[in-house]
């Protein structure tokens, strides 16, 4: 390189460290690796089913047989963990979500089959009632349609134990009831599952970004919204309080959800706690990038990598993302 003419007399020139690819690699502060990724997957009843979710191109509802094939494939790509979500037929839903703790239920059968086939992958099960209730809320309703807290927590504890019995490595309460982490920890321990971890959806916001996920599961609430239990998007101090409560009650990992509109919350939570922090790059975030990519409006692959890197840079140690498989392939 030819020496630059001395126009400005600068001592510090930040561009020096950006001049070559090797220099840039040397001073890179954040790296995205396949170890950071948790892959959310949808399981449905039946056989030989692989049905794409219309609002989530590239994401499928798999029947158990095909899900097992997919899991073998993603584990071989280096993905360490999946987060499992069931599509429950309307005929099995009721007011109290009793199918959620059926030992022969879809989640329980699926977890057992995964443990049999790919025992080393970490299976994380969702603990919330919305896929199982006829009204689509995450808990039991009183006569005014208000989600009752303590009654719901009792069912969540039962559901967690049943998932642990099936072989779940971690349970992930995504319901936002008060006190559920402590109750679940106690129930798991009492049933002999002291080794089963809890990934707490600690700061989960009442977000419009969950729309495509509710399409995937047919789980949208039939009436009202989730604002009496999920957090107000306007609040950030409260997120730290929620995290502190969950850690005190026994959460092994805490989570912020959604991710991209809440990078400030991820950063704040990372500062405030000493347990690993996860972030959920949710369905609406996924759908926006896919839609723009399909239209040729953005370079999809680059936007995916930049987005996930930004979530890590904000402070997330782990990212739940529907891009996990694609990214694992890109990073190979």
| Active site members | 204, 257
Q: Which stretch binds ligand PBG (CB under 6 A): 93-101, 122-130, 244-252, 291-299?
A: 122-130
Binding mask 221-240 for ligand PBG (x = CB under 6 A): -----x--------------
Helix (H) or strand (E) holding 291: helix 283-294
Q: Would you state the structure tokens that stand for residue 294, as one six-digit string?
A: 């399909």
Verify binding: residue 99, ligand PBG, rule CB under 6 A.
no
Residue nearest to ligand PBG (CB): 213
Geometric angle at alpha carbon 180, from 286 and 315, rounded to 5°: 40
Q: Which stretch binds ligand PBG (CB under 6 A): 126-134, 146-154, 186-194, 307-315?
A: 126-134
Q: What are phi and psi of 140, to 5 degrees?
A: -80, 140
Helix (H) or strand (E) holding 127: strand 122-127
Verify binding: residue 138, ligand PBG, rule CB under 6 A.
yes
Q: Would you state the structure tokens that stand for residue 59, as one six-digit string?
A: 């994401």
Measured from the CB atom, the residue of 213 and 262 that comes closer to ligand PBG is 213
Measured from the CB atom, the residue of 72 and 148 that comes closer to ligand PBG is 148
Verify binding: residue 100, ligand PBG, rule CB under 6 A.
no
Measured from the CB atom, the residue of 76 and 220 that comes closer to ligand PBG is 220
CA distance 149 to 143: 14
Give 10-70 as a DSSP string.
Answer: -S--GGGGGSSHHHHHHT------GGGEEEEEEEESSSS-EEEETTEEEEEEEEHHHHHHH
Binding mask 143-182 for ligand PBG (x = CB under 6 A): -------------------------------xx-------
Residue 296 to residues 58, 289, 303, Cα–Cα distance (Å):
16, 11, 12
What residues line the site for ligand PBG (CB under 6 A)? Answer: 126, 128, 130, 138, 174-175, 210, 213-214, 226, 282-283
């Amino acid at each position: 390189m030819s020496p630059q003419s001395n126009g400005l007399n600068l001592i510090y020139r930040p561009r020096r460290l950006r001049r070559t690819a090797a220099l840039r690699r040397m001073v890179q502060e954040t790296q995205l690796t396949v170890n950071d990724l948790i892959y959310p997957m949808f399981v449905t009843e039946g056989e030989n089913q692989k049905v794409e979710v219309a609002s989530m191109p590239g994401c499928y509802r798999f029947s158990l047989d095909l899900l097992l094939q997919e899991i073998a494939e993603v584990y071989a790509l280096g993905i360490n963990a999946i987060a499992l979500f069931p599509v429950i037929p309307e005929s099995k839903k009721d007011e109290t979500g009793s199918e959620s703790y059926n030992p022969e239920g879809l989640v329980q059968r699926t977890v057992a089959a995964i443990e049999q086939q790919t025992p080393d992958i970490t299976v994380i099960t969702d603990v919330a009632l919305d896929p199982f209730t006829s009204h689509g809320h995450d808990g039991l309703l009183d006569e005014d349609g208000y989600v009752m807290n303590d009654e719901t927590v009792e069912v969540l504890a039962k559901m967690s134990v049943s998932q642990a019995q099936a072989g779940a490595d971690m349970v992930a309460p995504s319901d936002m009831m008060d006190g559920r982490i402590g109750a679940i920890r106690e129930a798991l321990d009492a049933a002999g599952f002291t080794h089963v971890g809890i990934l707490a959806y600690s700061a989960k916001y009442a977000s419009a970004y969950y729309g495509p996920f509710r399409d995937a599961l047919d789980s949208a609430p039939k009436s009202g919204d989730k604002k009496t239990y999920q957090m107000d998007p306007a609040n950030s101090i409260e997120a730290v309080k929620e995290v502190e409560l969950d850690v005190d009650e026994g959460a092994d990992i805490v989570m912020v959800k959604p991710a991209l509109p809440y990078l400030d919350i991820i950063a704040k939570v990372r500062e405030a706690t000493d347990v690993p922090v996860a972030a959920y790059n949710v369905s609406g975030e996924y759908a926006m990038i896919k839609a723009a990519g399909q239209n040729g409006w953005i370079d999809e692959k680059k936007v995916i990598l930049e987005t996930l890197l930004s979530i890590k840079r904000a402070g997330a140690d782990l990212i739940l993302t529907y891009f996990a498989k694609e990214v694992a392939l890109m990073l190979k």
